Amino acid sequence: MDTKQWMSVTLFIATALMLFISFLSYRKRHLPVAKTMIFIMLAAACYAFGYAFEVLSGSLKEVKLSLQIEYLGIPFVTTLWLFQVIQFTGTASRYRKQLALALFLIPITVFVLHATNEWHHLVYKRYVLNVESSIPLYTTVKGPWYEVHTIYNYSALLYGMLLFIPMYWKALPIVRKQIVVLLLGAIAPMLFNMFFWFGVTVDLTPFGFAVSGVAYVWGILRFNLLRLTPLAYAKVFETIRDGVILFDYEDQIISYNRAAEKVFPELGLTKRYPADMAMVLSASPALIQHIRAAGDGDERFPFHRMYANRTRHYSCSLSLIYESSTVLIGKILMFNDITQMKESEDRLRENARQLSDLNAFKDKLFTVVAHDIRDPIALLVSLTELLGDELTASDFEHAELVRELKGQVQSTFHLVENLLDWYRSQEGKVVFRPLGWNLQQVVRQALLLAGTKAGMKQIRLTEHIDEKLGVRADKEMLDLILRNLLSNAIKFTGIGGKIEIEARLEGKMVIVSVSDNGVGIDEQTMELLLKEEPFLKVMVNGGDSGDTRFGLALTREFVRIHGGSLWFESQPGIGTTFSFSLPATAGWVDAFDDGGLEEDGYESDYGG
């Protein structure tokens, strides 16, 4: 076999190898990278096939025909390789179509110029018979566009290699191997082409494509070169602590991280990847069904399994990986361990059940207080009052002790009443029904009830309220407000003191003031009202002021229910003024605005 024959046979073998790679790529044509690989190998096959015929040619006509076959691939091989690198690295993904048009402008021009070279000779100026050797039969004198194409090819190869450098250092080991395969596929033809620089007249470039073909077959079969681009790997493994499993578009497991292996130890037992998902995850059929039934968007679903005698709970996120926004190239499954959260939820649910039981017990306790404690204390108050009156009349020597006993019993009764009123308000058992009321009549009724107690200390009760002034309030709540304020004023006002109730209209609110000339508010009660402590904290200090503080706190809450506010002014030894605001009845506001009512300084006295 002479030189021509073995060269042509080698080139035909290289052509067959590249067609085989095209077939392998066609099977993965779902992926853009695989589509580009088809065109690269077809272009290289045309180059090698045409050059085989050029080697066997016996005339200039046959040489030119062979060159026409070769130039079906020569202008496009390098550009297609660069475009594949751009796809592989994800460069300029938004402008991929515009970039493709720009890249193929020169190759298409070279193809057209070679097809019409006989008219202008811009690619080959002339063909010279090779008298020194039969290979090649003719040498060519290159034209200007041949030089342009050569510079363009080397520039494209250099740029593609530069794109790979930063990606190589950041990539996973399997991706690095894929990059090496792609680089070898480009460098081999380039090295063979560089023999022209050393005076070799035979074009050895097609033999470089034979080396590229072997490298590509190795990469496809060994490193899954066409299954998934590194874009997916970069998206999955960048600083992810959750478990991650990566699938290709055929739902085969491509890769996973260490956290995923903790979730599925069977991942580490599988020796070769890609692996069949149904076999690796066979213990979790529900999970397999979720993965296969994935829709167009991201999907979240719960997942749990037993591990180390403990049920582990996970929140799973299944995302689809697209290239060029439309082509599905794989799936990402992420596992977020929420076991502690689930266990905390169970504990909170148990705590909620216990709190519900405690609340039920509290309701029963207050029911007992309402029915079994309040009534006996009320009876005890009546008995001590009768006993005190009889002992005072008979000048009993221990009458002072009985009066002290009566005061303590009454204080306890008031505290129990306030506590029950507050409980009913918190449970929603106190219904708020605001109506229009004549304020003077309501105040006089409260003064009558407090008159007996005030008379015992010779305290003068006075009210200065216009007889036509009205408020919009809940009658029961308003009675409780006045009762508490009057009771506190009487308690802290000395013998022979005085208590005054006044009211005035300010805008759409009525300001009611209860003033006394008693000892003033103690520091603890004052601090409590200023800080607005919760109701139950007022009882912790105990002492004589416990029921007072609780009553004031309850009064403040009922005033707020009406949309008003409670405030006070107090000076030790001089007295205290409590004021609160209530909405005025609309009719009274209009009457005052029109000048139809005037304050007449009406005054009534009750008690001492």
Per-residue confidence (pLDDT) for residue 431, from 0 to 100: 64
Q: Which residue carries 């107090």 as its tokens?
A: 570
Mean pLDDT across 560-573 = 89
The structure tokens listed for 566 are 């409670």
Give the 3-state secondary structure of residue 514.
Answer: strand
Q: Binning pLDDT at 50, 70 and 90, where does residue 251 land?
A: confident
Would you say residue 430 has pLDDT above 90?
A: no
Mean pLDDT of the chain: 79
The larger pLDDT score, comparing residue 442 to residue 325, is at 442
Q: Binning pLDDT at 50, 70 and 90, where does residue 564 land?
A: very high
Per-residue confidence (pLDDT) for residue 601, from 0 to 100: 41
Q: Binning pLDDT at 50, 70 and 90, where does residue 237 land?
A: low
47-51, 141-145, 408-412, 551-555: range with lowest mean pLDDT: 408-412
The larger pLDDT score, comparing residue 204 to residue 172, is at 204
Would you say residue 325 has pLDDT above 70?
A: no
292-296, 405-409, 414-418, 555-559: range with lowest mean pLDDT: 414-418
pLDDT in tens, 569-599: 988 888 999 999 999 986 655 554 554 444 4
CA 198: distance to chain centroid? 64
User: What secondary structure does DSSP assign to 443-485, as a single string?
Assistant: HHHHHHHHHHHHHHTT-EEEEE--TT-EEEE-HHHHHHHHHHH
Whole-number Å distance between alpha carbons of 95 and 213: 30
Per-residue confidence (pLDDT) for residue 472, from 0 to 100: 92
User: What secondary structure does DSSP assign to 494-505, as a single string?
Assistant: -TT-EEEEEEEE
Per-residue confidence (pLDDT) for residue 514, from 0 to 100: 95
45-59, 438-452, 586-600: range with lowest mean pLDDT: 586-600
Per-residue confidence (pLDDT) for residue 406, from 0 to 100: 72
Q: Binning pLDDT at 50, 70 and 90, where does residue 174 land?
A: low
Give the 3-state secondary structure of residue 282.
Answer: coil
In what helix (H) or strand (E) does residue 309 lie, and over which residues does it extend?
Answer: none
pLDDT > 70 fraction of the chain, expressed in percent and rounded? 77
Would you say residue 274 has pLDDT above 90?
A: no
- What are residue 567's DSSP bridge partners? 579
Closest CA to 280 of 262, 266, 263: 266
Mean pLDDT across 150-176 = 78
Would you say residue 419 has pLDDT above 70?
A: no
Indicate the residue type of 435: L
Burial class (CB in 10 A: 0-12, 13-18, 19+), 147: exposed
Burial class (CB in 10 A: 0-12, 13-18, 19+), 595: exposed
Would you say residue 501 has pLDDT above 90?
A: yes
Indicate the residue type of 79: T
113-127, 236-250, 522-536: range with lowest mean pLDDT: 522-536
pTM, full prediction: 0.46
Would you say residue 482 has pLDDT above 70?
A: yes
Per-residue confidence (pLDDT) for residue 331, from 0 to 100: 85
Q: Binning pLDDT at 50, 70 and 90, where does residue 421 land?
A: low
Per-residue confidence (pLDDT) for residue 582, from 0 to 100: 94
Would you say residue 143 has pLDDT above 80?
A: yes
Per-residue confidence (pLDDT) for residue 548, from 0 to 100: 63
Closest CA to 213 of 49, 29, 3: 49
Would you say residue 536 has pLDDT above 50?
A: no
212-216, 335-339, 417-421, 566-570: range with lowest mean pLDDT: 417-421
In what helix (H) or strand (E) does residue 404 lie, and over which residues does it extend?
Answer: helix 399-426
Mean pLDDT across 108-114 = 94
Per-residue confidence (pLDDT) for residue 439, from 0 to 100: 93
Mean pLDDT across 87-103 = 78
Output b/e per residue, 163-181; b: 16+ Cβ within 10 A.
bbeebeeebeeebbbbbeb
The structure tokens listed for 339 are 């076991």
pLDDT in tens, 175-203: 777 777 777 777 777 777 776 666 666 67
User: What secondary structure does DSSP assign to 337-392, as a single string?
Assistant: E-HHHHHHHHHHHHHHHHHHHHHHHHHHHHHHIIIIIHHHHHHHHHHHHHHHHHHH
Per-residue confidence (pLDDT) for residue 605, from 0 to 100: 58
Whole-number Å distance between alpha carbons of 336 and 345: 16
Q: Binning pLDDT at 50, 70 and 90, where does residue 540 land?
A: very low
pLDDT in tens, 339-369: 888 888 888 888 888 888 777 767 666 666 6
Would you say residue 475 has pLDDT above 60?
A: yes
